[in-house]
Amino acid sequence: MKKTLIALSVLALLTACSSTDKAKMDDLDNRLTAVEAMNTENMDALADTKAMMASAEDKVYEAERKAQAINTFMNPESVFSKSGIEIVVENGVPTLIMPNAVTFDLNSAEIKPEFKEMLDTLAEALMEYPQGKIRIEGHTDTTGTAEYNMSLSKKRAESAEAYLVDKGIDEARIETEGKGQTKPRYSNKDAEGRMKNRRIEITLFRKK
């Protein structure tokens, strides 16, 4: 009888311990679940914060890009001053003077890569500043016949226009003209002057 009582006491103790351990395990499991849920919420919040920051950075970049594009018309000196382009302002209207060294090879109307980069900048400006219009003039030196030079200058101006139209610019916003050798800016009596006279001029017309 005594042994039976001891056995029952031990069993009761084990059962009590088992119940206590189960309660502890359940409590730990619940706490772990709560922590995991909190971590998930924190990770989601962190991801949302990063997404918001990325979106804000994109908006800032887009705003800066648009401002830079519009600045091409408003203040071309700040955009093209380091490109070897001369900028002349007459009556408040800026004209970009681009020598053949960066626009076309001799006797060619095929646009050089350097000129494409400049036209890309101009195309972006025209896209962001729809009030802007441009005039493209082709010029030559006096080497060769006047007829040939006039034809070449027209082809070069039209080649630049075609490139911009291909970039999505409405051709109604672009005026082209070939001047040939009729409007030299420099003397054609020496090689340097002739080289400078072989040029493209792009005038930027801003909204008044």
Q: What is the CATH number of the domain that holds 159?
A: 3.30.1330.60
87 with 8, same domain: the answer is no
E strands, 62-189, are 86-90, 93-99, 133-139, 174-180
60 with 148, same domain: the answer is no
* Contacts (Cβ under 8 Å, ≥6 apart) of 179: 137, 138, 139, 150, 153
104 with 156, same domain: the answer is yes
163 with 177, same domain: the answer is yes
102 with 170, same domain: the answer is yes
pTM of the model: 0.69
Per-residue pLDDT 10s for the chain (208 aa) are 555 545 545 445 445 555 666 777 777 677 778 777 777 776 766 666 666 665 666 666 666 667 777 777 788 888 887 677 899 999 989 999 998 888 998 899 999 999 999 999 999 999 988 989 999 999 999 999 999 999 999 999 999 999 999 999 999 999 999 999 999 999 999 999 998 999 999 999 987 6
Last residue of a domain, one of 50, 70, 90: 70
Domain extent for 184: 75-205
Report how far apart the first and last C-alpha atoms of the chain are (Å, whole number): 114
57 with 137, same domain: the answer is no
